[in-house]
């Protein structure tokens, strides 16, 4: 059982649990503090073109936006060939307002691991995490590989009860020092034998990345991804001032900048012809997990769906239906942010956008 650390006098934890914006956890960005800057390098806005000039039937594309509006969205963007064909905001959303990424941020971890392997800072995906996290070096859980963590097949305990203030996930999310919580996680079954979505896996990979590179996560993200894609400044939620970044889901960024990440994925790691993440890494990134055909390395995979007229695509997935869809066959990126949406369907929204194409 994960060590119970909740009894410690962590007053920020109890303050956060009492005030957490449960119904607006994505949009209530003023609540999240402290924050660490992730400097971008914004030179120019994303280009915008008329929907018709990008091959869409504007009326049918508007229907896709109406569907997104009905699903409690705050932002909905459709890009084709790197140009914005449609951009809509509702509720408190706007072009310049950030939202909380939730697990969209997990894919960024996988991209950064790719850069670390390319630079020789990490040997390979088969490296045991104990090689980088000294506290686990001589333990059985230290033998869990980076690949198993990224593919959600680590065999690590997953105390993920969001309804209890005494769970490990509550402590990691709201406590003032998440490191003891994640280091106390035990291995409760053989790694690589099954698939289980586990936020602790992602936080552990982020820790290994920081230890391997000797840099803070915010600096790595800024230098290797955020600046190269030309994004605006973003921020990361920390457990305390100068503490640990919540890399599994605590990035605050705009929908337009998530569209830039979608374009990076669409171009298999290139921006304006310049390599940011090696293209070969995307073969590994999008290789299905042996135990979950719809999951790669912290990215989701969707097969073609003839019922909804959708081709195969990949997507970034965050709680409350934060989405960045990448449909390479049609040179499309679709971004949706907002709060939870009943009746949401990946195939339906992608099908509505693809169905609006004339050519």
Domain boundaries, the chain: 24-355
Calculate the average pLDDT of the chain. Answer: 95
DSSP code string of 314-334: EEEEEGGGEEEEEEGGGTEEE
Is the per-residue pLDDT at 303 higher than 80?
Answer: yes
Q: May I ask the CATH class of domain 24-355?
A: alpha beta
pLDDT of residue 274: 97
Q: What is the pLDDT of residues 100-131, one digit of tens each?
A: 999 999 999 999 999 999 999 999 999 999 99
User: In percent, how much of the chain has pLDDT > 70?
Assistant: 97
Q: Render pLDDT for 227-277 as a digit per residue (tens, 0 to 9).
A: 999 999 999 999 999 999 999 999 999 999 999 999 999 999 999 999 999
The answer to whether the CB of 289 falls within 8 A of the CB of 151 is yes
Please list the alpha-helical segments (H only) found in the chain: 11-19, 58-70, 105-118, 146-150, 168-174, 179-183, 199-213, 217-221, 255-266, 281-285, 346-355
What b/e sequence results for 195-230 when a residue is b if at least 16 CB atoms lie within 10 Å of its CB, and e otherwise? Answer: bbebbbbbbbbbbbbbbbbebebbebbbbbbbbbbb
- Residues of the chain with pLDDT > 90: what percent? 91
pLDDT value at residue 6: 45
Alpha-carbon gap, residue 146 to 126, rounded angstroms: 6
CB 6 within 8 A of CB 13: yes
Distance of CA 188 to CAs 73, 155, 159, 170, 264, Å? 38, 6, 11, 20, 37
Q: Is the pLDDT of residue 288 over 70?
A: yes
Could you tell me whether strands 300-302 and 270-271 are parallel, antiparallel, or unpaired per DSSP bridges?
A: unpaired
Cα 14 vs. chain centroid, distance in angstroms? 27
CB atoms closer than 10 angstroms to residue 280: 12
What angle, 0 to 180 degrees and rounded to 10, lies between the N-to-C axes of helices 255-266 and 105-118? Answer: 40
Question: How far is residue 168's CA from residue 222's CA, in Å, rounded to a whole number?
Answer: 29
Q: Which two tokens stand for residue 205?
A: 């990979």
Q: What is the pLDDT of residue 306?
A: 84
pLDDT band for position 1 (cuts 50, 70, 90): very low
User: Which pLDDT score, from 0 to 100, does residue 305 have?
Assistant: 87
Task: State yes or no: pLDDT of 173 exceeds 90.
Answer: yes
175 secondary structure, DSSP code: S
pLDDT-based confidence at residue 160 (cuts at 50, 70, 90): confident
């Amino acid at each position: 059982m994960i060590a119970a650390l909740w009894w410690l006098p962590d007053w920020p934890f109890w303050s956060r649990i009492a005030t957490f914006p449960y119904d607006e956890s994505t949009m209530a960005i003023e609540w999240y503090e402290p924050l660490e800057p992730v400097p971008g390098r914004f030179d120019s806005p994303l280009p915008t073109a008329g929907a018709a000039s990008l091959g869409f039937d504007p009326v049918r594309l508007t229907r896709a936006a109406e569907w997104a509006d009905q699903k409690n969205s705050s932002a909905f963007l459709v890009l084709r060939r790197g140009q914005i064909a449609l951009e809509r905001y509702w509720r408190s959303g706007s072009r310049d307002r950030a939202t909380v990424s939730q697990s969209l941020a997990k894919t960024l971890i996988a991209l950064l691991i790719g850069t670390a392997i390319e630079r020789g800072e990490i040997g390979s995906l088969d490296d045991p995490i104990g090689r980088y996290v000294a506290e686990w070096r001589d333990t059985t859980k230290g033998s869990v590989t980076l690949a198993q963590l990224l593919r959600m097949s680590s065999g690590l305990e997953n105390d993920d009860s969001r309804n209890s203030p005494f769970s490990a996930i509550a402590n990691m999310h709201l406590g003032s020092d998440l490191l003891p919580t994640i280091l106390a996680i035990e291995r409760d079954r053989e790694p690589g034998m099954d698939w289980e979505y586990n936020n602790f896996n992602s936080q552990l990979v982020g820790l290994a990345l920081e230890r391997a590179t000797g840099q803070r996560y915010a600096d790595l993200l800024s230098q290797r991804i955020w600046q190269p894609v030309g994004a605006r400044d973003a921020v990361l939620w920390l457990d305390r001032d100068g503490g640990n970044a919540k890399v599994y889901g605590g990035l605050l960024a705009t929908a337009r900048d998530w569209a830039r990440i979608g374009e990076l994925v669409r171009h298999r790691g290139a921006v304006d012809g310049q390599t940011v993440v090696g293209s070969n890494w995307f073969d590994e990134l999008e290789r299905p997990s042996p135990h979950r055909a719809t999951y790669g390395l912290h990215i989701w995979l969707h097969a073609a769906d003839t019922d909804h007229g959708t081709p195969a695509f990949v997507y970034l997935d965050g709680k409350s239906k934060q989405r960045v869809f990448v449909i390479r066959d049609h040179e499309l990126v679709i971004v949706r942010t907002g709060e939870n949406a009943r009746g949401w369907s990946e195939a339906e929204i992608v099908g509505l956008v693809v169905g609006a194409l004339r050519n």
